[in-house]
Structure 1
Amino acid sequence: MIYLSKESFAITGAAMQVYNTLGSGFLESVYQEALAIEFTKRGIPFVKEKELKIYYDGHELKQTYRADFVCYDSIIVELKAVSDLNDSHRSQVYNYLKATGFRLGLLYNFGYYDGLQYERKLK
């Protein structure tokens, strides 16, 4: 069984609805606002721009990470509005998982012209 598959399926469905309604070409902040509305409509629990602590070698750092969303208290959702996802975007999500202790990250790109790009990252 895939880790948190039901939850990630619900989040991806909401993201697809936003993409199908707005298409590509807006700023990331527009998609973030629309996705918050869609999460609320679908009853998906979320915190927008949640500040997460980062740890290094067992020590809490002063620097924090602000996730676009944390859904279900356990999934980091990172949004992009770029022409195509690249390895730096993937590394960013993986590093957030590693530093925060979360196990699942979902990466969505609303800027791709031919449909919503999304990737599931599991630590």
Structure 2
Amino acid sequence: MSDVTSTGWIMFAANIILPVAVFLSYYFQVRPGGRPNRWAGIRIRVVASSPEVWRAAHRAAFRWERVNVICVCGAAVICLLTLRSWYLVLAECIIFGGYVISFLLNFWHTSTMAGKMAHSQRRHDEDRGS
């Protein structure tokens, strides 16, 4: 482990800390007491439109984030144990880039689903009001 560069350690830490932080954020929002707040969760208007949409959106995001955290953290640990020097930095950067892409796809899927759910709720409320 002594031949791991500081950049390798920084990228390894980023590959562990970011997925775990996002995972925990989604986890605490999925729990029964989770509702729209200012500090954590998916912070877009459509998701915060109602507590039901908030919880459903975070439940959908949490489902995919469990896979992300296992795959990304596992790959980062395997790379740290097997690679050295610039190979480790390159592998950790590729893993980090893959996580960012996966995170953005998860965010897009969740916001699309929340938008459809909010639209459905609005339409249902309008039908009941007429």
TM-score by length of 2: 0.26
Between Structure 1 and Structure 2, whose CA radius of gyration is higher? 2
Which protein is richer in helix relative to its size? 2
TM-score by length of 1: 0.27
Which protein is richer in strand relative to its size? 1
